Chains A and B, each alone.
Chain A
Amino acid sequence: MELSRRDFLKAGGAGIGGIAIWQALGSKKASASPKGFTLTKQIGEKTTICPFDGSGCGFIVASEEQRGKLKVVNIEGDPEHPINNGAGCAKGAALRQLSADNPRRLSKVKYRAPGSTDWVEKDWDWAIEKIAEKIKATRDANWIATDEDKPANRTEAIACLGGAALDNEECYLLSKMARSLGIVYLEHQARI
């Protein structure tokens, strides 16, 4: 079955597994073009939700594998989406520039030592270990076990900010993790 992008999106809604479509599209779309000659590009499309404002507009991301990496080749408004009906604002139209192709994106852990005037690059293992040690040391040294003889189990020495740009699952894990550590200075963009 030759599926157009529009058919795929409709089919997804009607119950054909949206996840499985990825592979199907990749292989089948390449087999023929409307004019009957073979295309070699393997373009796959999936849906996403805009990361900017709270409208929740739908977009379609087209990407293909280039040198072992899945690269964005196009992003445009999702015409089936009930909120934006395929439209996009200036930010939505520029979504593609958020991708890994933007040379300003961070690709390595950066570290600035006390008093230093510049970054140095570090690897993940080093950073995770260092940060975990900092959190533990600060938490334990500034632990408020009791407050007026009642259990308080908090630290006021660590603060945690952010969440409005994260996914729900990340927000949930952060909420759970921060509270297990006793963090009470827990805030995000909703306050400001």
Chain B
Amino acid sequence: MTNQWTDIANSDRILVIAGNPAENHPAAYGHITKAIEKGAKLIVVDPRFTRSAAKAHVYCPIRSGTDVAFIGGVIKYVLDDMDVNPGNYNMTYVTEYTNASLLINPNFKGPADLDGMFSGWDSTSKRYINNATHKYNDANSTWRYQMDESGIPKKDKTLKDPNCAFQILKKQFARYTPEMVSKTCGSPQEKFLEVARTFSECGAVGKSGTLMYAMGATQHTNGAQIIRSYAILQLLLANIGVCGGGIQAMRGESNVQGSTDMGLLSHIMTGYNPTPRHTEDTLQKYITRITPKSSDPLSLNWWKNSDKYVVSMLKSWWGDAATKDNDFRYNYLPKVHYKPEVDGDENYTHIALFEAMEKGKVKGLMCWGQNPAVGGPNANQERRALANLDWLVCSDLWETETSIFWKRPELSSAEIQAINTEVFLLPAAGSFEKEGSVTNSARWMQWRYKCADSPGEAIPDLDMMNELMLKIRELYAADASAPNRDAILNLTWNYGTHVDPNQVAKEVNGYDLPTGKLVNGFANLKNDGTTSCGNWVYCASYVEPADEPTAPIPGNRASRRNPDDGPYNVGLFSKWAWCWPMNRRIVYNRASVDLKGEPWDKEHPVIKWDSVNAKWLGDVADGGAKPMAEGGTYPFIMRSEGFGCLFAPVNGPRELSLVDGPLPEHYEPWESPLDANPLSGTMISPVIKIWRPQEQGTPDRYPIVATTYRVVEHWQAGQMTRNLPWLVEQMPEMFVELSEELATLKGIANGDKIVIENARGNVKAVAMVTKRFKPFHLNGTVVHQIGMTWHWGYAGLSTGDSANVLTPSVGDPNTTIPEYKAFLVNIRKA
């Protein structure tokens, strides 16, 4: 989230799309209620009339997988309205803070010119060659800015130049008319227009609107572009950086934010630094790739500090063994395989991991509180793959579907005996049985205490990792011939027999090594080996007691509980817990003020420039430079050009565009109910990742669109709720929701057991016939959609079929997040 749960109460307009906070974030939802009580309007766009929709002023249905078409339509509405009513928008923000005025290569061609494609397509390598590491400084690359002689992007602040990002945006979305939205998304035109009109009312100076989404947005083959469309809309409406504005990714797990920050992903290490490639055999080569350059003195270009963060992480990991002379032991780090022919890394992400497992390449798996046998796509494939492991270690509170895959009910005893996987199931302590921190959606790092004992021999995962690593180090100490064993033996691992989470949290924060003092902020990190920091994003979270004496655990800012509602009483709660980065509660907050540093919204300021003392008041200002009118830098400090991007250019090896284009374009889901894309001749995104093409269902056999969702009584893959009797009693069974029209068509009554099937498998569920789904009318074609809960599996107190048996092994080309939210099925009475 760019903003805060508590800040939503400041919004004038709230657009919830691809999420359902009333059901899935119900306690935090109270801040939406507060906003409504103050006069805000809630808009919900969803395939189903959800609990959130029931609270909305405006609800508009949308067919799953057509979000870019819908938001593209809203963007077109705003761009058209800006021509007619510029006074209703903050055009200074658009001109000065976004890249609207920046000129793009005149040879750029987009989907409006190329029937759904972008310029630079290479049919041999099946990719856009403009979007390449080696292309960023090639003036012929059409996804680049035009540069002046000093290497600074050219601008036209009148926004009239046909090559400026603003005009390119207009051209791109000119096709996204209300008629086109309606026949693509199945949204009634008048409802769509009501959404566009109501939300765009927050574009006026001093007004704000927030956009809230969840997995309904990201889990598509164009998920990253869906998020880009939100960003473009919010930049046009001057909503980024302001109170009550921003884009809120509503996270579904208590620490999925923290686990991402800590680099538990194949493509990033801690603090979002990319994983090194095998071609980068020196620290310098790696640093060069990940450090963006800017020739513009007005761009702060924060990532120019990357080397300080990487070197400080290496110092945390390899301590005294990491010196300048040995590249701080950069050589110890694993390097992923880089493929120059596609200018990309080998894919080590979730789907690829399970494909490699099925082929026998991955032989051992550690699973820490994750349950892929229910939560992974194409669940039958993942369950089969687990049987090819030599060994599996699961740490959990319960038996999970993953840990008992070898005895799942469908297997005969002969089949069970044929599975040779050794399985270790380790009993873990629960959240209130150990001490440590979690980071919520809003980047709040909050400390938890040990409140109760664990059952029997269950222990915290932290202690399991420690025991395991101590034993592994012992084994490597005894084997001088083992490869790269110094990486293990020289690793800083000084946690004793029971790990104190405070010690680890301090290591994450980092030290000034000569003085041994905790570093109070990443501006103090160095590239010369004199500082350590496990994760620069968390620097300043755990400081010397003297720097935060009143915290319940002195120095530990995550433990703070001061209920003061924060600067200007807008509800930022700046002394409650700690928020990365640097306790900044609203990121990009330099965009919340005009060029002189005065808040756009006088009633809800985030920051204000105090010209007498030459400093910012309020929230921790982004970057801290003076207001632009006084010679300060551009507000979007994490971009090398300094602006919020309407057009996502190729700016450097760390600032590539998206692999599927610098602008969002509607493509159909991999499994579409239509025979053509209404917007262009390009049916699906040409670059999506497909593993099992033979498992693609077609609408002649599987005409019904399906999606999955959660219910308030259950959590994710179910292990933490399907074992709790109260919750099982409240929501005992997997169900599938379908419209009255589809039920009539198929002869299904409410409460019937039905089979849902497609090219990947079939599941049984109880039919819930409701008015909440309605058939979509798409240019004369009627398309039905159903929705399934995905929490169930064969382990636990409550068992049932898993919806993910039906989801495909295809992924977004940028993130490889699977397309869980739009696929085809057929249904029949069981």
Please report A residues at the B interface, Cβ cutoff 8 Å.
9-10, 12-19, 46-58, 61, 63, 69-72, 75, 77, 80, 82-85, 87-95, 97-100, 102, 104-119, 123-124, 127-136, 138, 140, 142-143, 145, 147-148, 150-192
User: Given contacts A54-B256, A117-B413, A185-B348, is CB(A71)–CB(B441) below 8 Å?
Assistant: no
B450: chain A residues at CB < 8 Å are 46
Contact of B716 among A80, A104, A189 (CB under 8 A): A189
Q: Is the CB of B724 within 8 A of A169?
A: no
Contact of A53 among B253, B504, B508, B730 (CB under 8 A): B253
User: Given contacts A48-B448, A90-B730, is CB(A171)–CB(B254) below 8 Å?
Assistant: no
B471 CB-CB contact with A under 8 Å: yes
User: Given contacts A13-B560, A106-B427, A107-B456, is CB(A91)–CB(B376) below 8 Å?
Assistant: no
In chain A, what residue has the closest Cβ to B501?
A: A169
Q: Is the CB of A92 within 8 A of B425?
A: no
B131 CB-CB contact with A under 8 Å: no
B793 CB-CB contact with A under 8 Å: no
Q: Tell me the smallest distance from the CB of A128 to a CB of chain B, in Å.
A: 5
Stretch at the interface among B180-188, B462-470, B607-615: B462-470
User: Given contacts A46-B451, A124-B467, A151-B281, is CB(A184)–CB(B348) below 8 Å?
Assistant: yes
Interface residues of B in 366-399 (CB under 8 A from A): 366-370, 372, 375-377, 390-391, 393, 395-399
Contact of A131 among B362, B369, B393 (CB under 8 A): B393
B440: chain A residues at CB < 8 Å are 49, 54-56, 83
Q: Which of A10, A94, A130 has the most CB of B within 10 A?
A: A94
User: Given contacts A53-B254, A188-B264, is CB(A173)–CB(B334) below 8 Å?
Assistant: no
Q: Tell me the smallest distance from the CB of A97 to a CB of chain B, in Å.
A: 4
**In the complex, A18→B21 CA distance in Å?**
32
A18: chain B residues at CB < 8 Å are 449, 552-553, 559, 561
Contact of A132 among B316, B471, B552 (CB under 8 A): B471
Q: List 6 A-B contacts (CB under 8 A).
A: A56-B446, A69-B453, A72-B432, A168-B258, A180-B317, A190-B256
**In the complex, A87→B27 CA distance in Å?**
6
In chain B, what residue has the closest Cβ to A95?
A: B432
Interface residues of B in 454-485 (CB under 8 A from A): 454-462, 464-469, 471-472, 474-476, 479, 482-484
**In the complex, A122→B264 CA distance in Å?**
29
Q: Is the CB of B265 within 8 A of A188?
A: yes
Interface residues of B in 528-578 (CB under 8 A from A): 534-535, 538, 549-554, 559-563, 565, 571, 573, 576
Write the B634-652 contact mask toward A (1 if CB under 8 angstroms, else 0). 0000000000000000000
**In the complex, A12→B269 CA distance in Å?**
35
A93: chain B residues at CB < 8 Å are 726
Q: Tell me the smallest distance from the CB of B358 to a CB of chain A, in Å.
A: 12
A48: chain B residues at CB < 8 Å are 431-432, 448-449, 451
B96 CB-CB contact with A under 8 Å: no
User: Given contacts A163-B262, A169-B508, is CB(A106)–CB(B455) below 8 Å?
Assistant: yes
A57: chain B residues at CB < 8 Å are 27-28
Q: Is the CB of A55 within 8 A of B368?
A: no
Interface residues of B in 762-789 (CB under 8 A from A): none
Q: Is the CB of A13 within 8 A of B563?
A: yes
Q: Is the CB of A105 within 8 A of B561?
A: no
**In the complex, A127→B534 CA distance in Å?**
29
Contact of A102 among B364, B456, B468, B723 (CB under 8 A): B723
**In the complex, A95→B256 CA distance in Å?**
19
The 10 nearest A-B residue pairs measured at CB: A107-B456, A54-B251, A56-B440, A18-B552, A167-B436, A163-B259, A162-B368, A165-B369, A106-B427, A15-B550
Size class of the B contact interface (CB-based, 8 Å): 35 or more
Q: Is the CB of A192 within 8 A of B375?
A: yes
In chain B, what residue has the closest Cβ to A115?
A: B417
B451: chain A residues at CB < 8 Å are 46, 48, 61, 63, 70, 72
B27: chain A residues at CB < 8 Å are 55, 57, 77, 83-84, 87-89, 92
B118 CB-CB contact with A under 8 Å: no
B433 CB-CB contact with A under 8 Å: yes
B508: chain A residues at CB < 8 Å are 168-169, 172
A124: chain B residues at CB < 8 Å are 457, 459, 467
Q: Is the CB of A175 within 8 A of B270?
A: yes
Q: Tell me the smallest distance from the CB of B810 to a CB of chain A, in Å.
A: 13
B250 CB-CB contact with A under 8 Å: yes
**In the complex, A89→B484 CA distance in Å?**
49
Contact of B475 among A102, A136, A192 (CB under 8 A): A136
A17: chain B residues at CB < 8 Å are 552-554
**In the complex, A185→B565 CA distance in Å?**
42
User: Given contacts A135-B472, A165-B254, is CB(A185)–CB(B356) below 8 Å?
Assistant: yes
B356: chain A residues at CB < 8 Å are 156, 159, 185
Contact of B505 among A132, A156, A168 (CB under 8 A): A168
**In the complex, A100→B455 CA distance in Å?**
5
Q: Is the CB of B251 within 8 A of A52?
A: no
Q: Tell me the smallest distance from the CB of A49 to a CB of chain B, in Å.
A: 5
Stretch at the interface among B54-62, B87-95, B152-160, B815-823: B815-823
A117: chain B residues at CB < 8 Å are 407, 413, 416-417
A85: chain B residues at CB < 8 Å are 30
Q: Which of A77, A116, A188 has the most CB of B within 10 A?
A: A188
In chain A, what residue has the closest Cβ to B398?
A: A104
**In the complex, A73→B421 CA distance in Å?**
40
User: Given contacts A112-B423, A165-B369, A189-B253, is CB(A152)–CB(B334) below 8 Å?
Assistant: yes
User: Given contacts A102-B723, A115-B420, A165-B370, is CB(A136)–CB(B281) below 8 Å?
Assistant: no
Q: Tell me the smallest distance from the CB of A88 to a CB of chain B, in Å.
A: 6
B563: chain A residues at CB < 8 Å are 10, 13, 80, 82
B721 CB-CB contact with A under 8 Å: yes
In chain A, what residue has the closest Cβ to B340?
A: A148
In chain A, what residue has the closest Cβ to B28?
A: A55
Q: Is the CB of A150 within 8 A of B279?
A: yes
User: Given contacts A50-B254, A56-B5, A177-B465, is CB(A136)–CB(B482) below 8 Å?
Assistant: yes
**In the complex, A80→B264 CA distance in Å?**
32
B367: chain A residues at CB < 8 Å are 161-162
In chain B, what residue has the closest Cβ to A129?
A: B471
B399: chain A residues at CB < 8 Å are 104, 106, 110
User: Given contacts A52-B715, A165-B255, is CB(A170)–CB(B452) below 8 Å?
Assistant: no
B420: chain A residues at CB < 8 Å are 114-115
B238 CB-CB contact with A under 8 Å: no
A135: chain B residues at CB < 8 Å are 364, 468, 472
Q: Is the CB of A83 within 8 A of B6?
A: yes
B475: chain A residues at CB < 8 Å are 132-133, 136
Q: Which of B253, B349, B551, B727 has the most CB of A within 10 A?
A: B253
Q: Is the CB of B818 within 8 A of A187?
A: no
**In the complex, A69→B425 CA distance in Å?**
24
In chain B, what residue has the closest Cβ to A117?
A: B416
B754: chain A residues at CB < 8 Å are none
15 additional A-B pairs beyond A106-B399, A131-B471, A190-B265, beta carbons within 8 Å, are: A17-B554, A94-B726, A95-B432, A106-B398, A107-B427, A151-B331, A153-B334, A158-B363, A159-B357, A161-B366, A163-B259, A163-B264, A166-B255, A174-B262, A181-B472
B505: chain A residues at CB < 8 Å are 168-169
Q: Tell me the smallest distance from the CB of B216 to a CB of chain A, in Å.
A: 14
B625 CB-CB contact with A under 8 Å: no
A129: chain B residues at CB < 8 Å are 471
**In the complex, A72→B456 CA distance in Å?**
15
In chain B, what residue has the closest Cβ to A140?
A: B482
B830 CB-CB contact with A under 8 Å: no
Q: Is the CB of A167 within 8 A of B437?
A: yes
Q: Is the CB of A71 within 8 A of B452?
A: yes
B676 CB-CB contact with A under 8 Å: no
B797 CB-CB contact with A under 8 Å: yes
Q: Is the CB of B456 within 8 A of A147?
A: no
Q: Is the CB of A168 within 8 A of B484?
A: no
User: Given contacts A117-B407, A185-B348, is CB(A173)–CB(B504) below 8 Å?
Assistant: yes
Q: Is the CB of A153 within 8 A of B26?
A: no
